[in-house]
Structure 1
Amino acid sequence: MDDQNPQTQLLKDVWQSRKALFAKHQTELGKFRVDALISAIFSNGPFYHYVFDLSDLNLLYCSAEVEQIHGLKLESLTLQDILDQVHPEDMDFVSRAEATAIRLFQDKIGLHKITNYKVSYCFRFRVKGGDYRLFNHQAVVLTTDQQGRIGKALNVHTDISHLTDNNNRRLSLIGMNGEPSYLDLEVDGEVADPIPQPPRFTPREITVIQRIAKGMTSAEIGRELLLSEYTIKNHRKRILKKAGCQNMTQLIARCITEGLI
């Protein structure tokens, strides 16, 4: 285990250099926005979520699972405490991924669309006990101010070490509400003009994938979706073919690490 602390100032410098894009004051959060988004987040493994404000980097809320996963005390938790769990060797990648995402929203996608995207990439986190495991990071901007500047953000961290220990060190911007996705992007140096990609899977296929990730059988999925087991099995075959995967474990790992959904 590496006892060196991560250089979290690298990430803070990214946010500081883009401060003009962030709201000057706290923005109002819709009453059911977080709960609705959490139910739509794709995860397969232990996870926790938190909300923080980009105007002052204050942590506004964190789910209780952070105690079981990181061994951190919820009552005294700060955003800095969470950042300090990032593997020191991964902090530079995290900073570059954040900088790349912001630049693409500024120059390619448009900041006015930022609430319609999930930002996804992976890095190693220290867990309770001191070991490091691979986590998937998903972030969604929750609010903007009247000038379109970024306010509150929701982050979801999922332990995916049971699926893979290989970090592709890529960034994905996953479109929601009909927006195209920008997947598997490099973050080293200047990023070439990314090409938007249509959804890899249909809404029905995504529904099936989410239930497969929960360990449900084809028969169980069929009963829940009011479809035959035969239909679900055909969905599974098409999903594997589209993703270029040999089995469902490989599929779920690829969906998470490459931001396919």
Structure 2
Amino acid sequence: MDSKVDRILDLWKKPFLKVKSEHKPYAYPEQLKRTAGLFSPGLQYHFIIDMPTLKIEYISEGAKNILGIDPMEVDVELIIDRLIPEQKEILAKKESVVVDFFYNYLPAKEMMSYKSVYMYTIRDVDGNLRTILHQATPLTLTKGYKPKQVLVVHTDVSHLFVQHKDSLSFINLNNGKSFFNVTYNDGVFNANKSGNKQGDPFSDFTPKEKELIKKISEGLSTDVIAEQMNISIHTLRTHRKNILKKSSFKNIHEVVAQFLMAGVI
């Protein structure tokens, strides 16, 4: 196996080396109620992983559409190995920060209020490059208050046609303090080296502008979006211009990518 894949797996195993954990499968139907707002628009698959064993307890059928493999054949090693080589080292550093954030920084009462978010690029079975939005949040904790079963959502956002954002964020699911653009090169979480924000970081955008950004994230055409929003093409274009004026980005797809990374849509 690729040594970088081993390194990532070892990061996840380390917190449980001295812990005996009784395995109890997660009640999947119940978690859907709690995490309905977590799923991003677009082609996606999700799975539940038991961290002490690194076994996938459940994986959705969407994995076949993105990875090109029967979901029953998918394991954690395969998912990591799909990354393009130059991003495996970056993933190892990001996951080192994720482990530090959830296992060392957060108090137990806040652990299930956060999700980690970042993007990376994979090759599917046909050799095509796909940009993946990765989101993960704990579903259960061990008796020692460490994340045990974790829900992971992988969304194909290749249709946005933007270079993946080389950043890491921790989003509060209850509108509390979130940490954006977290530094990951040191492999540890440092709250002083991130953009801490409370609530919605895109409050300057109108509801119509946010709706438009969400529609664009779904890969819909201009005509379809205008029809669904019941506005003219001219009004739609005006909204796009206003969105760009309020942001620091050159095109609308970069704005969409930033919204995704911030967990706003």
Give TM class, smaller chain: 0.7 to 0.9
Q: Residues 65 and 195 from structure 1, CA distance in 2 versus in 1: closer, same or farther, beyond 3 angstroms? A: closer
Q: Give the corresponding residue for 1:221.
A: 229
The count of corresponding residues between Structure 1 and Structure 2 is: 252
Instruction: Choose from 39, 42, 52 the match for 1:41.
Output: 39
**3-state SS of 2:13 partner:** helix
Q: Give the corresponding residue for 2:214.
A: 210
Unmatched tracts of structure 1, length 5 or more = 224-228
Instruction: Choose from 124, 132, 135 the match for 1:135.
Output: 132
Question: How many Å apart are 1:211 and its aligned residue?
Answer: 3.5
**Letter in structure 1 aligned against 2:43:** P
Q: Residues 19 and 200 from structure 1, CA distance in 2 versus in 1: closer, same or farther, beyond 3 angstroms? A: same
Q: Does 1:121 align with 2:124?
A: no
Contact kept? 2:162, 2:257, Cα under 8 Å = no
Q: Residues 230 and 129 from structure 1, CA distance in 2 versus in 1: closer, same or farther, beyond 3 angstroms? A: closer
Q: Residues 17 and 55 from structure 1, CA distance in 2 versus in 1: closer, same or farther, beyond 3 angstroms? A: closer
Q: Does 1:59 align with 2:56?
A: yes
Q: Give the corresponding residue for 2:95.
A: 98
CA distance in structure 1 between the aligned counterparts of 2:213 and 2:162, rounded to whole angstroms? 21
**Letter in structure 2 aligned against 1:180:** K
Q: More deviation in 179-188 or 107-116? A: 107-116
Question: How many Å apart are 1:140 and its aligned residue?
Answer: 1.4
Contact kept? 1:120, 1:138, Cα under 8 Å = yes
CA distance in structure 2 between the aligned counterparts of 1:161 and 1:6, rounded to whole angstroms? 28
Q: Does 1:188 align with 2:179?
A: no
Q: Give the corresponding residue for 1:259.
A: 262
Report the RMSD for the aligned CA atoms in angstroms: 3.4
Q: Does 1:248 align with 2:248?
A: no
Q: Residues 252 and 179 from structure 1, CA distance in 2 versus in 1: closer, same or farther, beyond 3 angstroms? A: same
Q: Give the corresponding residue for 1:201.
A: 202
CA distance in structure 2 between the aligned counterparts of 1:248 and 1:139, rounded to whole angstroms? 26
CA distance in structure 2 between the aligned counterparts of 1:253 and 1:76, rounded to whole angstroms? 30
* TM-score in terms of structure 2 length: 0.78
Q: Give the corresponding residue for 2:85.
A: 88
Question: How many Å apart are 1:65 and its aligned residue?
Answer: 1.9
**3-state SS of 2:259 partner:** helix
Unmatched tracts of structure 2, length 5 or more = none
* TM-score in terms of structure 1 length: 0.79
Question: How many Å apart are 1:11 and its aligned residue?
Answer: 0.7
